[in-house]
Amino acid sequence: MPIRILIVDSYQELSQLSAGFVAEMVRFKPSAVLGLATGSTPIGMYEELVRLHIEQGLDFSKTTTFNLDEYVGLSESHAQSYYTYMRRNFWDCVNIPSDQVHIPRGDAGDLARECEEYEEGIERAGGIDLQVLGIGTNGHIGFNEPGSDFGTKTHVVRLSESTIEANSRFFASSNFVPREAISMGLQTIFRSRRILLLADGESKARAIRQMVTGDVTPQLPASLLKQHADVMLMVTRQAAAELPEDVVKLSGT
Ligand code: F6R
């Protein structure tokens, strides 16, 4: 089945519609298992989900979440850890019980074992119902960088120079960006029953064009999603700027 593409006019619209998509899953299946992303792109989505929780009683009490990734070497309390990001933007703002949220431990003593246990945890929970993804300027999903094997499960990855550079905006300088991360693998992500990929900004336009119009190749990890049966690509006009006319015509709101 071809990827469904929805092009929206603004970041605000992206945030509202993506939150609506997640909220629909949680209302339909309160015990849903959500796969979650960090980074700049989903911040507005989390804000909107929090608003839906406060104003409309969207209930996360039975929901389970698994995050895509965490930097190796950062403790939970580190200001730039994804654990801190998730607490600040989502977990602490809704009624999700703390034993139902999961993120790899970047400071685990035995990283290989941490990866195995994380993968087992996802399986025990019954697999992911809806995985929310961002996309790197180089086409990565999770921290699966170009060249990643499509068969990987949760594993330790070495971040590419372009990802270190892109993420240095959150750190004092690129020297402080960890060089490794634990990430769900491409196979882990692919096994999610439904996938929602979000992209905003011109910096993503090339990766989005390559993903939509190019071949399925490990050089662009997001291209693997073209083989998945249920993917929604939600992008702003800026991120869709390099898509061919005929694709754009079919993909408006
Ligand atoms: C984050 C993640 C990454 C980001 C991607 C885009 O958990 O797995 O793949 O989604 O790097 O990041 P932003 O949204 O900051 O452009």
CA dihedral 215, 251, 51, 199 (to 10 degrees): 30
Mean pLDDT by 10 residues, the chain (253 residues): 90 98 98 98 98 98 98 95 98 98 97 98 98 97 96 96 93 94 98 98 98 97 97 98 87 66
Cβ–ligand 1 distance for 39 under 6 Å, the answer yes
Pocket test for ligand 1, best of 18, 65, 68 (most atoms within 8 A of CB): 68
Cβ–ligand 1 distance for 41 under 6 Å, the answer yes
For the chain, the maximum distance between any two Cα atoms, rounded to a whole number of angstroms, is: 51
Cβ–ligand 1 distance for 210 under 6 Å, the answer no
Residue 250, Cβ density class (10 Å: 0-12 exposed, 13-18 middle, ≥19 buried): exposed
Q: CATH assignment of 11-125+142-187+213-231?
A: 3.40.50.1360
CA of 24 to the centre of ligand 1 (A): 23
Cβ–ligand 1 distance for 53 under 6 Å, the answer no
CA of 191 to the centre of ligand 1 (A): 19
Strand pairing class (130-133; 194-199) = parallel
Measured CA to CA, the distance from residue 14 to residue 200 in angstroms comes to: 8
User: Which residues belong to the active site?
Assistant: 69, 138, 140, 145
**Sequence-ordered alpha helix ranges (H) in 179-244:** 186-190, 205-213
Measured CA to CA, the distance from residue 195 to residue 228 in angstroms comes to: 9
Measured CA to CA, the distance from residue 150 to residue 31 in angstroms comes to: 29
CA of 74 to the centre of ligand 1 (A): 17
Structure confidence at residue 249 (pLDDT): 76
Confidence (pTM): 0.97
Strand order in the sheet with 101-102: 4-8, 231-236, 194-199, 130-133, 33-36, 64-67, 101-102
Whole-number Cα distances in Å, 206 to 26, 78, 139, 156: 32, 32, 9, 27
